[in-house]
Amino acid sequence: MSQRSSIRDNVERGVPYVMPAIGGALGVIWVNLNEMQFLNPMIWIPLGVFLGWVAGRGIVMLMNWWS
């Protein structure tokens, strides 16, 4: 039982760092796949990081609520 809580704790600690990185990577992919003249990477990549941060906070809140 303690092993399960250890894995859960590790996931809970890692999610706030991993989700913004995934969001930023998705922002880079979005900018590179949609080659529009006015698509500014200085807007879309931080927006992806912010949305990843929000998703990470939501996941951590759900994990705390679930237990």
pLDDT tens digits for 2-36?
566 688 888 899 999 999 999 999 999 988 888 77
Task: Give the domain ranges of the chain.
Answer: 22-67
Whole-Å CA distances, 35 to 24, 40, 44:
17, 10, 13
Q: What is the DSSP letter of 39?
A: -
| C-beta neighbour count of 29 within 10 angstroms | 13
Residue 29 has a pLDDT of: 92
Residue 62 has a pLDDT of: 93
